[in-house]
Structure 1
Amino acid sequence: MRYSDLNDFLARGRAALSKGPVALIFAEDDVEIDTTLRHHMQCGFASIAVFMDPIFALPPDLHETVHRIDYDMTRDGALETAVNAVIAAAPGLWLYYCYNAEYLFYPFAETRTVSEMLAFHTEERRDAMLTYVIDLYAGDLDRFPNAVSLDDAHLDRSGYYALARPDATNHNHPKERQLDFYGGLRWRYEEHVPQERRKIDRIALFRSRAGLKLRADHTFEDEEYNTYACPWHNNLTAAIVSFRTAKALKRNPGSTFDIRTFRWHNSTPFEWHSRQLLDLGLMESGQWF
């Protein structure tokens, strides 16, 4: 199903928002749109909506299974505008969002669906889930100059850290159960990344409700949604492995010539398996076994 714009989707695409969880995929370019959509279909999302430029191609076999919305991702605030519109149109649904060339992994993803995970998370009285955006990059930039290769994907196995998140409304005291997380390419090449874009945490899985608003920094106006755990024990977290930063660093004229390779002594091939992310401490199973 194809829609001419966001308003057309909200008017005619009600079936896509009748049951969750729903994945919202935002295509900033035409890199790995196909694999991004297929990966999230395998996760078990009830519906998948992709927001993409009209000139981008979509494989014919996905035309009937994916809801395609013609959308301009170059506008300021394009992502949060669309996410907030869907929140308002579909209160009570679990939603997920990511960009193209990003892939969701959660504990035991190979044998359990995202719906099963969110059912458990709901039982723990949680309405949102913290996800870490873990940078992927091609190991050989001579072969893959745009830094994207699923077969040659690498990630950093260390170099991640967290800082207290100051509360500007409370004399900059740390916010309760909230942290700012850093690491990956945004940390190693921070001189090329604006300060406000260096964090790797994202509240990418959440349950919509009336009045909920996503902010430009991937957090919500409801502060409880931004917490990494409930007050009584640790909760599930997930990871989004992403080529997005690597793509940007190689596309940007100010950084591309400074980077001959992204590999360093802490690089390791990505195995495309949730166990590796769990072993590296890049997500947590909490009480879910």
Structure 2
Amino acid sequence: MRYRDLDHLIKEARGALRAGPLALVLVEDDVEVATTLRHHQQAGFTSVVALMPPSFDLPRDLQETVLRVDYDSSHEEALQRAVNRVIPAVAGQWVYYCYNAEYLFHPFCETRNIVELLAFHSEERRDALLAYVIDLYALDLDANPQAVSLDDAHLDRSGYYALARSDPAKNGHPKERQLDFFGGLRWRFEEHVPAESRKIDRIPLFRAKPGLLLRPDHTFNDEEYNTYACPWHHNITAAVCSFRTAKALKSNPGSRDEIPSFHWHNSEPFEWHSRQLLDLGLMEPGQWF
């Protein structure tokens, strides 16, 4: 189904939006749009919404199974605005958001789908799930000038770290159970990345509720949503494996000619499997054995 804008979607597709976990995908360009949408369909989301420019096309199977919304994705806060517009319409429902060429992985996702994950997470009295955005990149930039290749995808196996997240309301003291995470291409090429865009933590999965707002830094106005664990034990975390930073670095005039390759001694092929991400410590199963 195709909708002329978000208001049209919310009015006409209320049943589909509230039927189960909802995925919102903001399409910024025409890179790996179909694979992104299919990946999240296969992950178990009940409805997948594609927010995309009217000029873009979709394969026939996705035209019939994806909720497509004509949307201007060029605005700097396009995703934030879309998420905050949808939240009041789906209060009580779990929502996921990402960009095209980003792929969600969670512990044991090969055998346990997103509905099972969120059922368990809800039983742990959690309303949000932390993820790390893990940069993917192609090694052969001559063959893949946009740095995107599913077959040649690589990631950094180390170089990740966390810093305490200060609370301005408490004279800069650290916030409870909150950290700022860094690493990947945003760390290795930080001279080309604005300081406010260097974090790799994101809260991409959350339960919508009245008054909840997504902020520009991918955190919410409810501080408990921004925590990495509950007070009594560790919780599940996930990984959003993303070509977005690599694409940006190779398309930005200020950086593309400065980066002949993304390869370094800690690059390794991405196996497209949750076990690799768990072994590298890039997500946490918590109590979900």
Same fold (TM over 0.5): yes
Residue in 1 aligned with 2:31?
31
In the other structure, the counterpart of 1:229 is 229
Aligned AA (1:243): F
- Any idea what SS the aligned residue of 1:176 has? strand
Residue 9 (structure 1) aligned with residue 9 (structure 2): yes
Counterpart in 2 of 1:87? 87
Q: Following TM superposition, by how much is the alpha carbon of 1:9 offset from its aligned partner in structure 2, in angstroms? A: 0.9
Deviates more, 1:72-81 or 1:163-172: 72-81
- Alignment match, 1:154: 154
The SS at the match of 2:170 is: coil
- Separation (CA, whole Å) in 1 of partners of 2:107 and 2:76: 34
SS in 1 for 2:241: strand
* Partner secondary structure for residue 85 of structure 1: helix
- Aligned residue number for residue 165 of structure 2: 165
Aligned residues: 289
Name the structure 2 match of 1:206: 206
Runs (4+) off by over 6 Å: none
Structure 2: distance between partners of 1:63 and 1:189 = 38
Deviation of the 1:16 alpha carbon: 2.1
**Structure 1 partner of 2:115:** 115
Q: Which amino acid aligns with 1:154?
A: H
Matching of residue 77 in structure 1 with residue 72 in structure 2: no
> More deviation in 165-174 or 68-77?
68-77
Partner Cα distance (1:18, 1:254) in 2: 43
1:221-243 CA-to-partner distances (Å, cap 9, x unmatched) read: 00000000000000000000000
2:162 maps to a residue whose letter is A
Letter in 2 for 1:233: H
Task: Tell me the percent identity.
Answer: 70
Matches within 5 A, 1:182-193: 182-193=182-193
Structure 1 unaligned residues grouped into runs of 5+: none
**Contact 1:132–1:200 (CA<8 Å) still a contact in 2?**
yes
Report the secondary structure of 1:204's partner residue.
Answer: strand
In the alignment, the residues of structure 2 paired with residue 175 and residue 269 of structure 1 have an alpha-carbon distance, to the nearest angstrom, of: 35
The 5 A counterparts of 1:136-285 are 136-285=136-285
After TM superposition, the score normalised by the length of structure 2 is 0.99
The unaligned stretches of length 5 or more in structure 2 are: none
Report the secondary structure of 1:51's partner residue: strand
State how 1:45-84 maps to structure 2 within 5 Å: 45-84=45-84
1:10, CA displacement in angstroms? 1.2
Deviations 1:47-71 (A, max 9, x none): 0001000111111111111000000
1:15 positional shift: 2.3
Deviations 1:179-215 (A, max 9, x none): 0000000000000000000000000000001110100
Paired letter, 2:21: P
The SS at the match of 1:63 is helix
What is the CA–CA distance in structure 1 between the aligned matches of 2:37 and 2:15, rounded to whole Å? 18
